[in-house]
Structure 1
């Protein structure tokens, strides 16, 4: 076998490889075409949804009734709540249950701070106070 004979299979291998790559490239182009068409469909559907949302929001704004007046939050009858709110009226910052115990001249014990915290949570649930972060209470700002 001469060197010339050994080189003959290479053109066949190259042709086979070229044929395989051409087929793979055609399949990939077809997938790209399918994906491009699907992308166009999705973009079109998104555009329709955006237009629908904008239209509905515009209609809702036009048809929205005037907001009903908010009911006035009722402070519980117990005098402790009035004392707590008086402290908040004078405070220039959010307060913790411990701060209120000090302001109300209560001994700082677990029983007192938990009792005050419970009252503060009740005032939050009625919309009279807000809890700006866990354990930190303040009057809502208008």
Structure 2
């Protein structure tokens, strides 16, 4: 009978060892999974940040100052900042409105804003636009939208009738549509 108990103890010890090995593997896989999740989250945040920066980025110099011999997609704008050169490649993300130009040339965030303003029955404020473009009505989102609205006014896409009240731009030519 003593050998049966010894055999059971040996099997129990082996099973315990296997459980400990599997637990160690599980802990290692959990650690690797957490690192992968963190990497994924960093990439998501980076993509969103880059998208926001590109949507709001303005060139350091006017487009006319760029070498006209290069294609527009490869225009380079260079400026010095604190002794370091900063290179921006691209064109205005929000171009100046010109006759015949439609809102589909705008980045999606700006296009959504122009569409909401065009659909509004009258002048509209940034805090009214934010929920209509799917953003939470937080101070930061309202200020970011107000900044985009001001840029759209500067570039001729919208008018600001009174401080903070935005409307579709009154076009300079008689045959241009009032919006887009």
TM-score by length of 1: 0.46
Bigger Cα Rg: 1
Please identify which structure carries the higher strand content: 2
